[in-house]
């Protein structure tokens, strides 16, 4: 059977992704189960009837892969993930373990992962991410005892590595370092990584060294938020995430040096394997790097035995390695993008390259003379450029559906920007590796400076290119609307149809205009149908209020409080549609209304931040909080903000209390903070359609509304329920779910 590993591996990826991203939907399980049973039945029939035994065997293998992967996901979720989260999430625990990776430090916090051996006195093997806003007196791989209030971790990239819990330093967190350390090969790799980072910090300015950290080691925490935004807007974030491309460049450079020393293919294979494993360890075994590493090792072993490895089979085997014992690996969207891009390159890059060269009637034979030599090398350079273009285009087309669905945006400039940046990225990788290693070597450390200079120049060029293109109109196109998914579906069906057509040239001439027409018509209809859309969303954030007003082209936050454990969910939900926030309005600096500001500031571009506080000292502190431009105001201020063409937010400040009256075409919402006295609110604002509160205000009998939305915990809701019912017969709580109010549609 051809490509056995490819068939199994790709089936694993497809089934596991469908189950995980559908949130274990029963309908999806039913479809997958039916598909597996049908494949078994048809496969056995074909084998028994001897009509097409090869295809029948393939169907049986496919059915096995479907059933195994679905069962594996259920078992892993039930007996590993759910066991840990059900026993320990949202509880205070006392545990012991060791810090199992580097401590990542930023200006305002530090984070690290503890691998436990005991929780509440019982043996337990769990990973807990700790986020601390004060310095922690402990070192990587040091054994610790700690007490913490834990929450369920909802960050998919961390879940993919088995980190199912998280905790924050403000929830009665205590940690005691024992001074005893755990030593293993990975701890040595982390020590090497930290030493390399220190070398880069000493050799380069901060902006350039942090970029080298990201490109070489996958450490992008220290990158300036504006730099991250530029890479995100241009769709080139993959350049600052360690991936297979980075591994190929590093390994190719090492092999270039090794081949100068020896021609023994077994020694070359040994050096390749060592380089791959070392790079995987230093970069923290990122899934995309492991994928490339497995493929590279297979190819190396095959070449040492004078065999040719099948690329799709190798890719499938890498998928099996990553998912057979950790089905949650598919939670890492970067891994799925890596597999998708590699598949596209394997299947489409060569045909695209051949088509382009055929279009230009490319022939390159070396002729005598100076002119002939120059023409030869120009044509050779042209072929290299076509090859790079075909690789970029094929990868982009294959990751387009995932990017559009996962991030709700695509970047039309990504191919051009990546082509311009890739030469600098390659040089940066090699030079930053050399300078970071040479700098720590006695007697020859001075050799690091020339490579450091080249690294700095390459960093400067990359940052300039990405920043320049990010400022262009339409550098990013949002794809959260339905028409994008319709267009992707039609395009995929047209591409599949092309596989069964004999006259492909004629088919391409018809299918491309059809695809473009669907996109243009869908975009036009979307503009007409969503021009007046406006909604208010109130999030389930525990104790506090986090509410946004969402319009087609803008998002504004009217309060950003709540439990910090909910920060990841809230920011992830907003970022699906928006990359910036037009207004952030903070009613006061109470945690119930401002605790999640720092998360929003680091995640989004904030155009206007308005803070109400009469305390001048607090205003000054807040102005210096993160360097963002903002306005603070106090007293009895009164003004109106135009959140969109159809939605306004009227701010009424009376007696140290800030009320907000949000008005759409057919709906009004009054937001009343804690300790408010409704007798101070002007009468014309006392009859909203909806009232948003997190406690029962004084003189609540003065208000008249159709619906009360209570933002707070379930315990607070039950405690205040009787009083809330006196305000309105219709009461909705955010304690179980997020709530959406249509401001323009009733």
Q: What is the pLDDT of residue 480?
A: 67
**How many beta carbons lie within 10 A of that of residue 499, not counting itself?**
7
Please give the sequence-ordered ranges of beta strands (E in DSSP) within 37-78, or none if there are none.
Answer: none
Across the range 706-725, mean pLDDT stands at 87
In this prediction, residue 1 has a pLDDT band, given cuts at 50, 70 and 90, of: low
Determine which of 196-205, 505-514, 717-726 has the lowest per-residue pLDDT on average.
Answer: 505-514
Q: Please report which confidence band the pLDDT of residue 627 belongs to, taking 50, 70 and 90 as the band edges.
A: very low
**In this model, does residue 152 exceed pLDDT 70?**
yes
Nearest to 175 by CA among 95, 88, 111, 116: 95
Q: How far apart are CA 28 and CA 22, in angstroms?
A: 7
Query: For position 530, what pLDDT does the model report?
Result: 62
Confidence class of residue 96 from pLDDT cuts 50, 70 and 90?
very high
Q: How confident is the model at residue 621 (pLDDT cuts 50, 70, 90)?
A: very low
Q: What is the DSSP string of 231-260?
A: HHHTT-GGGGS--HHHHHHHHHHHHHHHHH
Sign of the alpha-carbon dihedral angle for 467, 468, 469, 470: positive
Pair 264, 311: CB distance under 8 Å: no
Distance CA(734)–CA(713), nearest Å, equals 8
**Token duo for residue 306:** 């004078």
Residue 623 has pLDDT above 50, yes or no: no
Tally helices (H) and strands (E) across the chain.
23, 24
Predicted confidence (pLDDT) per residue in 188-244, tens digit: 998 988 999 999 999 999 889 989 988 888 887 777 777 877 887 788 887 877 777
CA angle centred on 235, ends 229 and 236, rounded to 5°: 85
Q: What is the pLDDT of residue 619?
A: 46
Q: Give the DSSP H or E segment for 346.
A: helix 333-359
pTM: 0.77
Cα–Cα distance, 308 to 646 (Å, whole number): 63
Kindly tell me if the per-residue pLDDT of 142 is higher than 80. Answer: yes
Residue 670 and residue 661 in contact, taking contact as beta carbons nearer than 8 Å? yes
State the DSSP code for 589. Answer: S
Rounded average pLDDT over 269-276: 85
Q: Are 551 and 577 in contact (CB under 8 A)?
A: no
DSSP letter for each residue of 102-152 = PPEE-SS-EEEEEEEEEETTEE---EEEEEESS-----TTEEEEEEEEEEE
Q: What is the mean pLDDT of residues 20-35?
A: 86
Cα 229 to Cα 147, 208, 374, 510: the distances in Å are 36, 16, 42, 38
Give the integer Cα–Cα distance in Å for 498 and 640: 56
Phi first, then psi: what are they for 154, rounded to 5°?
-115, 10
SS3 state at 412: coil
Q: Summarize pLDDT for 639-684 with one digit per residue, the tens.
A: 898 888 888 999 999 888 899 999 988 889 999 998 899 999 999 9
Average pLDDT over residues 338-361: 86
706 closest CA partner among 683, 685, 730: 730
Residue 624: the pLDDT is 40
64-73, 432-441, 479-488, 612-621, range with the lowest pLDDT: 612-621
CA–CA separation, 411 vs 413, rounded Å?
5
Residue with tokens 């360097």: 627
Whether 84 and 115 have beta carbons less than 8 Å apart is answered as no
Query: What is the average pLDDT value for the chain, to the nearest integer?
Result: 84
The predicted model gives 414-431 an average pLDDT of 88
DSSP label at 410? E
* The dihedral formed by the CA atoms of 82, 86, 89 and 94, expressed in degrees to the nearest 10: -110
pLDDT reading at 49 higher than 80: yes
Parallel/antiparallel/unpaired status of strands 127-132 and 110-119: antiparallel
Rounded to whole angstroms, the Cα distance separating 537 from 559 reads 11
In this predicted model, what pLDDT tens digit does every residue of 442-483 receive, in sequence order?
A: 888 888 999 999 999 999 999 999 989 888 877 777 776 777
| pLDDT tens track for 296-326 | 888 888 776 666 678 888 889 999 999 988 9
Measure the CA–CA gap between 649 and 557, rounded to whole angstroms.
Answer: 11
Query: What is the full DSSP assignment across 147-212?
Result: EEEEEE---HHHHTTTEEEEEETTTT-EEEEEEEE---HHHHHHHHHHHHHHHHHHHS-HHHHHHH
Distance, CA of 246 to CA of 240 (rounded, Å): 10
pLDDT of residue 614: 64
CA distances from 382 to 346, 350, 364, 368, 377 (A): 21, 15, 10, 20, 8
């Amino acid at each position: 059977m051809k490509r056995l590993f490819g068939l199994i591996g790709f089936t694993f990826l497809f089934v596991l992704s469908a189950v995980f991203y559908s949130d274990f939907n029963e309908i999806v399980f039913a479809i997958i189960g039916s598909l597996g049973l049908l494949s078994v039945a048809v496969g056995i029939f074909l084998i028994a009837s001897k009509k097409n035994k090869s295809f029948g065997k393939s169907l049986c293998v496919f059915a096995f892969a479907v059933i195994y992967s679905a069962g594996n996901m259920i078992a892993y979720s039930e007996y590993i993930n759910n066991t840990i989260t059900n026993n320990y999430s949202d509880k205070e625990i006392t545990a012991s373990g060791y810090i199992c990776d580097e401590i990542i430090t930023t200006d305002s916090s530090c984070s690290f992962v503890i691998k436990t051996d005991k929780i509440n006195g019982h043996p337990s093997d769990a990973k807990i991410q700790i986020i601390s806003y004060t310095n922690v007196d402990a070192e990587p791989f040091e054994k610790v005892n700690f007490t913490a209030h834990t929450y369920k971790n909802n960050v998919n990239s961390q879940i993919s590595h088995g980190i199912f819990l998280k905790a924050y330093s403000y929830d009665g967190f205590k940690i005691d370092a024992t001074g005893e350390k755990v030593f293993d090969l990975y701890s040595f790799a982390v020590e090497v990584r930290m030493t390399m980072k220190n070398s880069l910090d000493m050799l380069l300015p901060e902006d350039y060294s942090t970029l080298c950290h990201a490109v070489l080691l996958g450490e992008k925490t220290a990158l300036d938020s504006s730099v991250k935004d530029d890479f995100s807007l241009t769709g080139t974030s993959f350049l600052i995430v360690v991936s297979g491309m980075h591994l190929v460049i590093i390994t190719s450079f090492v092999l270039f040096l090794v081949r100068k020393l020896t021609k023994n293919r077994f020694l070359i294979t040994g050096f390749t394997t060592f380089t791959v494993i070392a790079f995987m360890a230093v970069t923290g075994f990122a899934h995309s790097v492991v994928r490339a590493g497995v493929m590279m090792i297979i190819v190396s072993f095959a070449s040492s035995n004078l065999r040719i490895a099948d690329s799709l089979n190798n890719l499938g085997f890498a998928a099996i390695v990553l998912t057979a014992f950790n089905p949650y690996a598919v939670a890492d969207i970067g891994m799925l993008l890596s597999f998708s891009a590699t598949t596209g390159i394997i299947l489409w890059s060569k045909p695209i390259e051949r088509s382009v060269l055929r279009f230009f009637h490319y022939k390159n034979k070396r002729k005598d003379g100076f002119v002939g030599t120059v023409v030869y090398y120009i044509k050779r350079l042209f072929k290299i450029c076509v090859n790079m273009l075909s690789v970029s285009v094929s990868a982009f087309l294959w990751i387009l559906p995932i990017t559009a669905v996962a991030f709700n945006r695509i970047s039309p400039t990504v191919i051009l920007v990546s082509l311009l940046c890739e030469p600098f990225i390659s040089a940066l990788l090699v030079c930053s590796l050399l300078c970071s290693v040479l700098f720590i070597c006695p007697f020859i450390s001075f050799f690091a400076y020339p490579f450091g200079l080249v690294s700095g120049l390459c960093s400067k060029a990359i940052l300039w290119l990405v920043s320049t293109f990010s400022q262009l109109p339409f550098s990013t196109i949002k794809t959260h609307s339905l028409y994008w998914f319709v267009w992707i579906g039609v395009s995929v069906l047209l591409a599949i149809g092309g596989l069964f057509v004999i006259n492909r040239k004629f088919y391409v001439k018809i299918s491309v205009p059809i695809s473009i027409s669907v996109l243009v018509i869908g975009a036009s209809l979307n503009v007409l149908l969503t021009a007046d859309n406006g909604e208010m969303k109130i999030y389930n954030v525990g104790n506090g209020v986090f509410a946004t007003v969402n319009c087609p082209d803008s998002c504004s936050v009217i309060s950003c409080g709540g439990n910090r454990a909910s920060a990841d969910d809230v920011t992830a939900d907003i970022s699906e549609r928006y990359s910036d926030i037009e207004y952030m309005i903070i009613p006061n600096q109470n945690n119930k209304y401002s605790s999640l500001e720092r998360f929003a500031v680091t995640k989004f571009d904030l155009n206007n931040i308005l803070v109400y506080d009469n305390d001048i000292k607090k205003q000054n502190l807040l102005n210096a909080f993160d360097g963002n431009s903002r306005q603070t105001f106090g007293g009895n201020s009164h003004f109106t903000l135009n959140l969109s063409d159809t939605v306004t937010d009227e701010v009424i400040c009376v007696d140290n209390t800030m009320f907000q009256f949000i008005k759409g075409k057919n709906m009004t919402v009054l937001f009343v903070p804690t300790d408010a006295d409704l007798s101070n609110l002007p009468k014309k604002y006392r009859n909203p359609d909806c009232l948003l509160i997190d406690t029962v205000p004084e003189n609540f009998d003065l208000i008249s509304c159709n619906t009360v939305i209570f933002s707070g915990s379930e315990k607070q809701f039950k405690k205040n329920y009787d009083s809330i019912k006196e305000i309105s017969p219709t009461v909705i709580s955010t304690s179980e779910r997020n709530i959406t109010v249509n401001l323009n549609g009733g």
